[in-house]
Amino acid sequence: MWIYEKKLEFPIKIKNPDPRMAKLIIAQYGGPNGELSASLQYLNQRYGIPTSRAKGILTDIGTEELAHMEMIATMVYQLTEGVRPEDWVDASLGGLYVEHGGIFYVNPDGVPWTAAYLKSPGDPLATFVSNMAAEERARSTYEHLIRLTDDPDVKEPLKFLREREVVHFQRFGETLNYLEGEITKKKFY
């Protein structure tokens, strides 16, 4: 089970609204390499993976990604809080304002999130190679976002999230090595 904690993993307080940046950051909410995708991908993979260590890393990284999704939602929320409806339209966010009154699971081009983004191949090596690639894609998205803002209130949480992708990549790599070792021990799964 999960228990909600009324707190973000990293503090966010954005003083200046910037709907243009909100539109870009939503990539990490409802985009293919976003936090929703990462979380649901890892949590689902748990049911087709051998070894307790692999189940542990998928559970705990999948859970942390949910907390990251909340950070991204918070950034989009604060970047658009209190802006006029015309400002949503001027930032090409008119669709979100009209249909959702705020945040929804779409990418910056308005494409709705789909489970078809997820990779859950049911093979231990394919799973972890795929997850390492997912972390690298998320890292690169964060690096692009960091280049697109000068606001430290926005930059700092993005840098934190970028750093987490690097750590997750590392832990997935270690899990991959471990699984390869288990397989060469002639324990076939």
Partner 1 sequence: MDYLDKPDNLGKANYISRKELLDQIRQLQFMSIELTLFLNTHPYDSAALEDHNATVTKLRRLQNLYNKRYGMLTPMSISRGDSWEWVESPWPWERSYEED
Note the residues at the interface with partner 1 (CB under 8 A).
3-15, 53, 56-57, 60-61, 64, 70, 73-74, 77-78, 81, 167-168, 171, 174-175, 178
CB of 116 to partner 1, least distance (A): 28
In angstroms, what is the minimal distance from the CB of 71 to partner 1?
A: 9
Of residues 41 and 74, the one with the C-beta less far from partner 1: 74
Please, are residues 106 and 40 in contact by the beta-carbon 8 Å criterion? no
Decide whether 105 or 117 has the Cβ nearer to partner 1: 105
Residue 66 token pair: 């949910």
The residue (of 39 and 117) whose beta carbon lies closer to partner 1 is: 39
**Closest distance to partner 1 from the beta carbon of 115 (Å):** 25
> Which lies closer to partner 1 via its Cβ, residue 32 or residue 176?
176
Least separation in angstroms between residue 189's CB and partner 1 is: 18
> 46: which DSSP letter?
G
Q: Please give the torsion angle defined by the CA atoms of residues 35, 13, 23 and 72, in that order, rounded to the nearest 10 degrees.
A: 10
